Amino acid sequence: MKNNITTSTLIFLLAAPAFQACKNDPPKEPESAKPVTLESLAIEKKTGPDCDKVDSLRLNCVEISLRYPKIKEGSEALKPIVDAWATDFMTGMVGYAEEPDNLPPLEEAIQAFVNMHDEMVKEMPDGPLYYTAETKDTVLLNDGKHLTLRMDGYTYVGGAHGNSTSIVATWDVATAQKVTLDQLVTDLGALQQLAEKKFREVKAEVFKPESEGGWGFNFDESNPFKLADNTGLVKDGIYFCYVPYEVGAYAMGSTEFVIPFAEIQNIRK
């Protein structure tokens, strides 16, 4: 019996330092909690005799500069989803000559954009014909649990002004599923009221009467307020991005803001 006790004690004493070392080690972060690794890639194309001149002197040039996000390391399931999301947006930005619901592959859409410019040069050889299409990408959240990305696009093919727009999306990294507003709050109507209040604060000058130097703008049947088409999770709350024409005139531009989590505690899921 004495030998057995001594042996057991010895085993415990030998194992104790290793046990203590394991106990003191920081817990390993779950695989799904690690932020994905992103890179920003680019597709560039420029053609025309005036492309090396400053913008104001470009009478015959088509320039395409498409920057987009790509998951380099991380969720394998999410990689093709982000690729398709970014590709669809870029294709839409250069798909002027195509049907919106039947867009070709991106490479074909880019070439069609160039061809559209070349056809106009034949019709109007004295121009000015400077066509441009560009996109850029921004990471709004990448905390391992969620990934929120934004892409902005701008095209100009003549006329009074170009066309600018944006898209925003949040995905659950573990499931590769897109996160929607109804998964975040219990009452979309209450969220819309908060969003309108925030919108009016951010764009206060357009709601002021003209007599006070404002626009005299207000929401009505022709310009109703609604929840933004582009929303996403960020560190401190829910991010909203309203693009031109979404709830007001083009001149109003884009409108972005965050509704903090603290303001939606009573409706947050």
Residue 240: what pLDDT? 98
Q: Which of 256, 207, 219, 253 is nearest to 234 (CA)?
A: 256
CB 10 within 8 A of CB 50: no
For residue 193, how far is the Cα from the chain centroid? Answer: 23
The letter for the amino acid at 268 is R
Q: What is the pTM of this model?
A: 0.84
Residue 100: what pLDDT? 67
CA distance 153 to 166: 6
The structural domains of the chain, ordered by start, are: 31-178 (3.30.565.40), 181-263 (3.90.640)
Q: Which of 264, 98, 82 is nearest to 181 (CA)?
A: 264
In degrees and rounded to multiples of 5, residue 239 shows phi and psi of -95, 135
Q: Would you write out the chain's pLDDT as a tens digit for each of its 269 residues? A: 444 444 444 333 444 444 344 334 433 444 447 899 999 999 999 999 989 988 778 889 999 999 999 999 989 999 999 999 999 999 999 987 566 677 899 999 999 999 999 999 999 888 789 999 999 999 999 999 999 999 999 999 988 889 999 999 999 999 999 999 999 999 999 999 999 999 999 999 999 999 988 899 999 988 899 999 999 999 999 999 999 999 988 888 999 999 999 999 999 99
Residue 97: what pLDDT? 58
CA distance 143 to 257: 20
CA distance 17 to 20: 5
Residue 102: what pLDDT? 79
CB 143 within 8 A of CB 235: yes
Residue 198: what pLDDT? 97
Residue 7: what pLDDT? 41
DSSP, collapsed to helix, strand or coil, labels residue 164 as strand
